[in-house]
Amino acid sequence: MRTVFWDYDRDVMKMIDQRLLPFELVVPEYETYQAVAEGIRDMVVRGAPAIGAAAGFGMALAARQSAAADRLGLLRDLEAAGQYLEAARPTAVNLAWGVRRLLRVAAGEELETADEVRDALLVEAQRLADEDVALNRRMGYNGAELISDGDTILHHCNTGALATVDWGTALGVVFAAHEQGKRIHVLVDETRPRLQGARLTAWELQQRGISFDLIADNAAGHFMRAGEVNIVLVGSDRTAANGDVANKIGTYQLGVLAKENGVPFYPVVPTSTIDLDLPTGDLIPIEERDMDEVLIVGAQPIAPTGITARNPAFDVTPHRYVTGIVTEAGIVYPPFVKNLRAAVAAAKAIDWDDEIGVE
Ligand code: MRU
Protein backbone atom coordinates (compact mmCIF):
# COMPACT_ATOMS: atom_id res chain seq x y z
CA MET A 1 0.00 0.00 0.00
CA ARG A 2 1.20 3.52 -0.77
CA THR A 3 1.58 6.07 2.05
CA VAL A 4 -0.42 8.75 0.20
CA PHE A 5 -2.81 7.98 -2.66
CA TRP A 6 -6.02 8.84 -4.49
CA ASP A 7 -8.83 6.31 -4.12
CA TYR A 8 -10.47 6.44 -7.57
CA ASP A 9 -13.47 4.34 -6.47
CA ARG A 10 -14.38 6.74 -3.70
CA ASP A 11 -12.88 9.81 -5.40
CA VAL A 12 -11.04 10.92 -2.26
CA MET A 13 -7.44 11.15 -1.09
CA LYS A 14 -6.16 8.72 1.54
CA MET A 15 -3.07 8.73 3.77
CA ILE A 16 -1.79 6.20 6.28
CA ASP A 17 -2.06 7.75 9.76
CA GLN A 18 1.58 7.41 10.81
CA ARG A 19 0.87 8.63 14.34
CA LEU A 20 -0.75 5.28 15.11
CA LEU A 21 1.94 2.97 13.73
CA PRO A 22 3.25 0.39 14.50
CA PHE A 23 0.26 -0.58 16.62
CA GLU A 24 -2.64 0.30 14.29
CA LEU A 25 -2.80 0.63 10.49
CA VAL A 26 -5.53 3.22 9.82
CA VAL A 27 -5.99 4.93 6.45
CA PRO A 28 -8.38 7.90 6.76
CA GLU A 29 -10.01 9.71 3.82
CA TYR A 30 -9.34 13.38 3.02
CA GLU A 31 -11.88 15.53 1.19
CA THR A 32 -10.50 19.03 1.76
CA TYR A 33 -7.10 20.67 1.36
CA GLN A 34 -7.53 22.22 4.82
CA ALA A 35 -7.76 18.74 6.36
CA VAL A 36 -4.68 17.69 4.37
CA ALA A 37 -2.77 20.72 5.72
CA GLU A 38 -3.81 19.77 9.24
CA GLY A 39 -2.67 16.18 8.58
CA ILE A 40 0.75 17.49 7.49
CA ARG A 41 1.01 19.78 10.56
CA ASP A 42 -0.01 17.00 12.96
CA MET A 43 2.28 14.48 11.22
CA VAL A 44 -0.40 12.06 10.06
CA VAL A 45 1.85 12.17 7.01
CA ARG A 46 5.53 13.07 7.41
CA GLY A 47 8.78 12.69 5.52
CA ALA A 48 9.65 15.27 2.88
CA PRO A 49 8.64 13.36 -0.30
CA ALA A 50 5.39 12.07 1.27
CA ILE A 51 4.54 15.64 2.28
CA GLY A 52 5.22 16.76 -1.31
CA ALA A 53 2.84 14.12 -2.67
CA ALA A 54 0.20 15.03 -0.07
CA ALA A 55 0.50 18.66 -1.19
CA GLY A 56 -0.07 17.54 -4.80
CA PHE A 57 -3.27 15.67 -4.00
CA GLY A 58 -4.26 18.50 -1.62
CA MET A 59 -4.14 20.90 -4.56
CA ALA A 60 -6.28 18.50 -6.62
CA LEU A 61 -8.80 18.56 -3.75
CA ALA A 62 -8.66 22.38 -3.60
CA ALA A 63 -9.56 22.53 -7.29
CA ARG A 64 -12.62 20.36 -6.65
CA GLN A 65 -13.63 22.37 -3.58
CA SER A 66 -13.53 25.68 -5.45
CA ALA A 67 -16.94 26.82 -6.69
CA ALA A 68 -15.31 29.00 -9.37
CA ALA A 69 -17.00 28.63 -12.74
CA ASP A 70 -14.20 30.25 -14.73
CA ARG A 71 -10.52 29.43 -15.02
CA LEU A 72 -9.17 32.68 -13.54
CA GLY A 73 -11.41 32.42 -10.48
CA LEU A 74 -10.18 28.87 -9.94
CA LEU A 75 -6.54 29.95 -10.26
CA ARG A 76 -7.11 32.58 -7.54
CA ASP A 77 -8.60 29.92 -5.23
CA LEU A 78 -5.69 27.59 -5.97
CA GLU A 79 -3.11 30.28 -5.09
CA ALA A 80 -4.82 30.74 -1.71
CA ALA A 81 -5.01 26.97 -1.12
CA GLY A 82 -1.33 26.65 -2.05
CA GLN A 83 -0.32 29.27 0.52
CA TYR A 84 -2.41 27.52 3.17
CA LEU A 85 -0.79 24.15 2.43
CA GLU A 86 2.75 25.60 2.29
CA ALA A 87 2.33 27.09 5.76
CA ALA A 88 1.73 23.65 7.32
CA ARG A 89 5.44 22.81 7.84
CA PRO A 90 8.33 25.11 6.94
CA THR A 91 11.47 22.98 6.56
CA ALA A 92 10.67 20.32 3.94
CA VAL A 93 11.02 22.11 0.61
CA ASN A 94 9.02 19.34 -1.12
CA LEU A 95 5.85 20.90 0.26
CA ALA A 96 6.34 24.18 -1.61
CA TRP A 97 7.80 22.28 -4.57
CA GLY A 98 4.66 20.09 -4.82
CA VAL A 99 2.30 23.07 -4.53
CA ARG A 100 4.20 25.08 -7.17
CA ARG A 101 4.39 22.17 -9.56
CA LEU A 102 0.59 21.87 -9.44
CA LEU A 103 0.14 25.65 -9.78
CA ARG A 104 2.33 25.63 -12.90
CA VAL A 105 0.10 22.99 -14.47
CA ALA A 106 -3.04 24.91 -13.47
CA ALA A 107 -1.69 28.02 -15.21
CA GLY A 108 -1.13 26.12 -18.49
CA GLU A 109 -2.47 28.14 -21.44
CA GLU A 110 -3.84 25.01 -23.13
CA LEU A 111 -6.39 24.52 -20.33
CA GLU A 112 -9.45 26.53 -21.31
CA THR A 113 -12.08 25.78 -18.69
CA ALA A 114 -12.12 25.41 -14.91
CA ASP A 115 -13.09 21.76 -15.27
CA GLU A 116 -10.13 21.11 -17.56
CA VAL A 117 -7.88 22.55 -14.84
CA ARG A 118 -9.56 20.33 -12.21
CA ASP A 119 -8.93 17.21 -14.29
CA ALA A 120 -5.36 18.21 -15.12
CA LEU A 121 -4.49 18.72 -11.45
CA LEU A 122 -5.51 15.23 -10.45
CA VAL A 123 -3.52 13.78 -13.36
CA GLU A 124 -0.45 15.81 -12.30
CA ALA A 125 -0.78 14.89 -8.60
CA GLN A 126 -0.94 11.22 -9.60
CA ARG A 127 2.07 11.65 -11.83
CA LEU A 128 4.05 13.33 -9.06
CA ALA A 129 3.26 10.37 -6.79
CA ASP A 130 4.17 7.80 -9.46
CA GLU A 131 7.44 9.58 -10.22
CA ASP A 132 8.31 9.58 -6.52
CA VAL A 133 8.13 5.79 -6.41
CA ALA A 134 10.16 5.37 -9.62
CA LEU A 135 12.86 7.82 -8.59
CA ASN A 136 13.18 6.34 -5.10
CA ARG A 137 13.91 2.93 -6.58
CA ARG A 138 16.46 4.41 -8.93
CA MET A 139 18.07 6.33 -6.06
CA GLY A 140 18.05 3.23 -3.88
CA TYR A 141 20.00 1.21 -6.43
CA ASN A 142 22.38 4.14 -7.03
CA GLY A 143 23.11 4.23 -3.29
CA ALA A 144 23.36 0.45 -2.93
CA GLU A 145 26.72 0.67 -4.75
CA LEU A 146 28.07 2.11 -1.48
CA ILE A 147 27.03 -0.92 0.54
CA SER A 148 29.19 -4.04 0.79
CA ASP A 149 28.23 -7.51 1.94
CA GLY A 150 28.44 -7.62 5.74
CA ASP A 151 28.08 -3.84 6.29
CA THR A 152 26.41 -2.24 9.29
CA ILE A 153 24.50 0.91 8.42
CA LEU A 154 23.55 3.57 10.95
CA HIS A 155 20.21 5.21 10.12
CA HIS A 156 18.31 8.16 11.62
CA CYS A 157 14.56 8.96 11.68
CA ASN A 158 12.33 7.22 9.13
CA THR A 159 13.20 7.52 5.45
CA GLY A 160 11.39 4.43 4.20
CA ALA A 161 8.20 3.80 2.26
CA LEU A 162 6.31 5.76 4.90
CA ALA A 163 8.40 8.90 4.39
CA THR A 164 7.76 8.79 0.65
CA VAL A 165 4.92 7.57 -1.56
CA ASP A 166 6.61 4.17 -1.55
CA TRP A 167 10.08 2.57 -1.19
CA GLY A 168 12.00 5.37 0.53
CA THR A 169 15.20 7.41 0.36
CA ALA A 170 18.01 6.38 2.75
CA LEU A 171 16.09 3.31 3.82
CA GLY A 172 15.44 2.69 0.10
CA VAL A 173 19.22 2.18 -0.25
CA VAL A 174 19.03 -0.39 2.55
CA PHE A 175 16.11 -2.15 0.81
CA ALA A 176 17.99 -2.19 -2.51
CA ALA A 177 21.14 -3.63 -0.90
CA HIS A 178 18.98 -6.29 0.78
CA GLU A 179 17.29 -7.11 -2.54
CA GLN A 180 20.76 -7.53 -4.05
CA GLY A 181 21.38 -10.27 -1.51
CA LYS A 182 23.92 -8.35 0.58
CA ARG A 183 23.95 -9.39 4.23
CA ILE A 184 23.52 -6.13 6.07
CA HIS A 185 22.65 -4.98 9.57
CA VAL A 186 21.05 -1.66 10.51
CA LEU A 187 21.50 0.30 13.73
CA VAL A 188 18.24 2.23 14.02
CA ASP A 189 18.30 5.50 15.98
CA GLU A 190 15.06 5.71 17.94
CA THR A 191 14.85 9.44 16.99
CA ARG A 192 13.50 11.39 19.90
CA PRO A 193 11.11 13.05 20.39
CA ARG A 194 8.64 11.62 17.84
CA LEU A 195 10.36 8.21 17.71
CA GLN A 196 10.14 7.79 13.94
CA GLY A 197 13.04 5.31 14.15
CA ALA A 198 11.57 3.18 16.92
CA ARG A 199 8.00 3.21 15.59
CA LEU A 200 8.32 3.41 11.81
CA THR A 201 11.80 2.36 10.66
CA ALA A 202 11.83 -0.64 13.01
CA TRP A 203 8.39 -1.61 11.65
CA GLU A 204 9.46 -1.36 8.02
CA LEU A 205 12.70 -3.32 8.56
CA GLN A 206 10.87 -6.01 10.53
CA GLN A 207 8.31 -6.39 7.73
CA ARG A 208 11.08 -6.90 5.18
CA GLY A 209 13.05 -9.30 7.36
CA ILE A 210 16.17 -7.10 7.44
CA SER A 211 18.50 -7.54 10.42
CA PHE A 212 18.54 -4.53 12.78
CA ASP A 213 18.88 -3.33 16.35
CA LEU A 214 17.14 -0.31 17.79
CA ILE A 215 19.52 2.02 19.65
CA ALA A 216 19.05 5.10 21.82
CA ASP A 217 20.05 8.19 19.83
CA ASN A 218 22.89 8.92 22.23
CA ALA A 219 24.45 5.47 21.60
CA ALA A 220 25.40 6.32 17.99
CA GLY A 221 28.82 7.80 18.89
CA HIS A 222 29.67 4.74 20.95
CA PHE A 223 29.05 2.38 18.05
CA MET A 224 31.01 4.54 15.62
CA ARG A 225 34.02 4.76 17.96
CA ALA A 226 33.86 1.01 18.51
CA GLY A 227 34.24 0.49 14.75
CA GLU A 228 30.82 -1.12 14.43
CA VAL A 229 29.44 1.26 11.77
CA ASN A 230 30.51 1.13 8.11
CA ILE A 231 28.33 3.94 6.78
CA VAL A 232 25.76 6.49 8.01
CA LEU A 233 22.70 6.98 5.77
CA VAL A 234 20.18 9.75 6.39
CA GLY A 235 17.49 11.59 4.44
CA SER A 236 17.06 15.33 3.96
CA ASP A 237 14.18 17.77 4.17
CA ARG A 238 16.06 20.47 2.30
CA THR A 239 19.55 20.55 0.85
CA ALA A 240 21.10 23.94 0.05
CA ALA A 241 23.06 24.63 -3.14
CA ASN A 242 26.38 24.20 -1.28
CA GLY A 243 25.46 20.72 0.04
CA ASP A 244 24.44 21.76 3.58
CA VAL A 245 21.73 19.31 4.61
CA ALA A 246 18.70 19.99 6.82
CA ASN A 247 17.33 16.79 8.27
CA LYS A 248 15.72 15.40 11.41
CA ILE A 249 17.12 16.82 14.63
CA GLY A 250 20.17 14.80 15.65
CA THR A 251 21.55 14.41 12.13
CA TYR A 252 24.21 17.12 12.66
CA GLN A 253 25.78 15.30 15.57
CA LEU A 254 25.87 12.11 13.48
CA GLY A 255 27.72 13.97 10.72
CA VAL A 256 30.30 15.34 13.16
CA LEU A 257 30.74 11.96 14.87
CA ALA A 258 31.04 10.20 11.53
CA LYS A 259 33.85 12.51 10.37
CA GLU A 260 35.63 12.23 13.73
CA ASN A 261 35.53 8.43 13.45
CA GLY A 262 36.29 8.13 9.73
CA VAL A 263 32.83 6.75 8.89
CA PRO A 264 31.36 7.83 5.51
CA PHE A 265 28.23 9.99 5.87
CA TYR A 266 25.77 10.02 2.94
CA PRO A 267 22.43 11.86 2.80
CA VAL A 268 20.08 10.25 0.27
CA VAL A 269 18.18 13.05 -1.41
CA PRO A 270 15.76 13.22 -4.35
CA THR A 271 16.58 16.31 -6.42
CA SER A 272 13.15 17.72 -5.48
CA THR A 273 14.66 18.24 -2.01
CA ILE A 274 17.58 20.30 -3.34
CA ASP A 275 16.89 24.02 -3.04
CA LEU A 276 19.27 25.70 -5.48
CA ASP A 277 17.80 29.08 -4.49
CA LEU A 278 19.42 28.82 -1.06
CA PRO A 279 23.20 29.29 -1.18
CA THR A 280 23.77 27.83 2.30
CA GLY A 281 21.96 25.82 4.95
CA ASP A 282 21.97 28.85 7.28
CA LEU A 283 18.98 30.12 5.29
CA ILE A 284 16.87 26.99 5.76
CA PRO A 285 13.89 27.68 8.07
CA ILE A 286 13.93 25.29 11.03
CA GLU A 287 10.55 24.22 12.37
CA GLU A 288 10.21 24.44 16.13
CA ARG A 289 7.41 22.21 17.39
CA ASP A 290 5.34 22.06 20.57
CA MET A 291 7.39 21.53 23.73
CA ASP A 292 4.99 18.81 24.85
CA GLU A 293 6.56 16.49 22.27
CA VAL A 294 9.68 16.57 24.47
CA LEU A 295 7.94 16.67 27.85
CA ILE A 296 5.43 13.87 27.25
CA VAL A 297 6.08 10.42 25.77
CA GLY A 298 2.84 8.82 24.60
CA ALA A 299 0.50 10.12 27.29
CA GLN A 300 3.14 9.93 30.03
CA PRO A 301 4.83 13.11 31.33
CA ILE A 302 8.57 12.45 31.81
CA ALA A 303 9.67 15.69 33.49
CA PRO A 304 8.53 17.90 36.37
CA THR A 305 5.32 19.79 35.61
CA GLY A 306 5.64 23.48 34.81
CA ILE A 307 9.08 23.34 33.15
CA THR A 308 9.82 24.47 29.59
CA ALA A 309 11.52 22.61 26.76
CA ARG A 310 12.89 23.46 23.30
CA ASN A 311 11.92 21.30 20.35
CA PRO A 312 13.62 22.10 17.01
CA ALA A 313 12.43 19.41 14.58
CA PHE A 314 15.45 19.66 12.23
CA ASP A 315 19.09 20.70 12.20
CA VAL A 316 21.58 21.58 9.48
CA THR A 317 24.68 19.48 8.82
CA PRO A 318 27.32 21.63 7.09
CA HIS A 319 28.60 20.13 3.83
CA ARG A 320 32.12 19.62 5.21
CA TYR A 321 30.73 16.60 7.07
CA VAL A 322 29.01 15.17 3.99
CA THR A 323 30.98 12.51 2.10
CA GLY A 324 28.56 12.45 -0.83
CA ILE A 325 24.89 12.90 -1.67
CA VAL A 326 22.93 10.08 -3.30
CA THR A 327 20.31 11.26 -5.81
CA GLU A 328 18.18 9.68 -8.53
CA ALA A 329 20.72 11.07 -11.02
CA GLY A 330 23.70 9.40 -9.33
CA ILE A 331 26.00 10.01 -6.37
CA VAL A 332 27.19 13.59 -6.07
CA TYR A 333 30.60 14.40 -4.56
CA PRO A 334 32.24 17.75 -3.75
CA PRO A 335 32.42 20.41 -5.03
CA PHE A 336 28.69 20.37 -4.29
CA VAL A 337 27.96 23.87 -5.62
CA LYS A 338 28.82 22.71 -9.14
CA ASN A 339 27.87 19.05 -8.93
CA LEU A 340 24.45 19.41 -7.25
CA ARG A 341 23.37 21.84 -9.98
CA ALA A 342 24.48 19.31 -12.59
CA ALA A 343 22.56 16.52 -10.79
CA VAL A 344 19.35 18.59 -10.75
CA ALA A 345 19.72 19.17 -14.51
CA ALA A 346 20.48 15.48 -15.13
CA ALA A 347 17.39 14.41 -13.14
CA LYS A 348 15.21 16.72 -15.24
CA ALA A 349 16.55 15.05 -18.39
CA ILE A 350 15.48 11.56 -17.23
CA ASP A 351 12.58 10.20 -19.30
CA TRP A 352 10.07 9.83 -16.46
CA ASP A 353 7.31 8.73 -18.87
CA ASP A 354 9.44 5.71 -19.58
CA GLU A 355 10.31 5.18 -15.89
CA ILE A 356 6.68 5.21 -14.75
CA GLY A 357 5.39 3.37 -17.79
CA VAL A 358 3.30 6.16 -19.39
CA GLU A 359 2.60 5.47 -23.09
O1 MRU B 1 9.55 15.33 11.00
P2 MRU B 1 9.57 14.27 9.93
O3 MRU B 1 9.26 12.90 10.42
O4 MRU B 1 8.73 14.69 8.74
O5 MRU B 1 11.08 14.25 9.43
C6 MRU B 1 11.44 13.37 8.41
C7 MRU B 1 12.90 13.39 8.14
O8 MRU B 1 13.65 14.09 8.77
C9 MRU B 1 13.40 12.57 6.99
O10 MRU B 1 14.73 12.21 7.21
C11 MRU B 1 13.28 13.41 5.72
O12 MRU B 1 11.99 13.82 5.47
C13 MRU B 1 13.84 12.86 4.49
S14 MRU B 1 13.56 11.18 4.13
C15 MRU B 1 12.26 10.91 3.26
- Domain residues of the chain, as ranges? 4-136, 142-356
Residues within 6 Å of ligand 1 by CB: 46-49, 92, 157, 159, 163-164, 169, 196, 235-237, 247-248, 313
Give the single-character DSSP code of 221.
H
pLDDT of 358 reads 78
Distance CA 104, CA 246 (A): 26
pLDDT for 202 beyond 70 = yes
CA–centroid distance, residue 65 to ligand 1 (Å): 29
Q: Which of 334, 324, 327, 325 is nearest to 350 (CA)?
A: 327
pLDDT at 356: 86
Mean pLDDT of 214-225: 98
What's the average model confidence in pLDDT over 106-115?
A: 95
Choosing from 16, 158, 316 the residue with most ligand 1 atoms within 8 A of its CB, the one to mutate for a pocket test is: 158
Ligand 1 centroid distance, CA of 47 (Å):
4
Q: Reduced to 3 DSSP states, what percent helix, strand and coil does the chain have, rounded to the nearest 5?
A: 45, 15, 40
What share of the chain in percent tops pLDDT 90?
Answer: 97
What pLDDT, on a 0 to 100 scale, did the predictor assign at position 354? 87
Q: Is the CB of residue 243 less than 8 Å from the CB of residue 322? A: yes
> If DSSP codes are grouped into helix, strand and coil, which group holds residue 82?
helix
pLDDT at position 82 over 90 = yes
How do 245-248 and 314-317 pair as beta strands?
Answer: antiparallel
Per the prediction, the chain carries an average pLDDT of 97
Element (H, E) at 182: none
Q: Is the pLDDT of residue 129 over 80?
A: yes
Looking at residue 333, what DSSP letter applies?
-
Of 3.40.50.970, 3.40.1390.10, 3.30.450.30, 1.20.120.420, the CATH number of 4-136 is 1.20.120.420
Enumerate helices (H) and strands (E) in the chain, giving the number of each: 13, 16
Ligand 1 pocket mutation, candidates 15, 44, 171, 248, criterion most atoms within 8 A of CB: 248
Instruction: For residue 197, report the distance from its CA to the centre of ligand 1, in Å.
Output: 10
pLDDT at 357: 82
pLDDT score of 200 more than 70: yes
Can you tell me the distance from the alpha carbon of 38 to that of 99, in angstroms, rounded to the nearest whole number?
15
Q: Please state the rounded mean pLDDT for residues 183-211.
A: 98
CATH number, domain 142-356, options 1.20.950.20, 3.40.50.10470, 3.40.50.620, 3.20.20.70 = 3.40.50.10470
**pLDDT score of 239 more than 70:** yes
Torsion of Cα atoms, 172 then 175 then 176 then 177, to 10°: 120
Choose the catalytic residue: 237, 244, 275, 315.
237
pLDDT band with cut points at 50, 70 and 90 for residue 359: low
> What's the whole-number mean pLDDT along residues 221-232?
98
pLDDT category at 304 given cuts 50, 70, 90 is very high
Q: Please give the average per-residue pLDDT across 291-313, as a whole number.
A: 97
What does the alpha-carbon distance between residue 237 and residue 59 come to, in Å, rounded to a whole number? 21
Q: What is the mean pLDDT of residues 285-303?
A: 97
Task: Work out the average pLDDT over 200-221.
Answer: 98
The answer to whether residue 151 is catalytic is no
* Residue 31 pLDDT greater than 80, yes or no: yes
Q: Which atom of ligand 1 is nearest to the CA of 287?
A: 1
Confidence of residue 108 (pLDDT cuts 50, 70, 90): very high
What's the CA-to-centroid distance between 75 and ligand 1, angstroms?
Answer: 31
pLDDT higher than 70, residue 343 = yes
15, 204, 236, 274: which to mutate for ligand 1, most atoms within 8 A of CB? 236
Could you give the angle at which helices 71-86 and 114-144 cross, rounded to 10 degrees? 40
Measured in Å, residue 238 CA sits from the centre of ligand 1 at 10
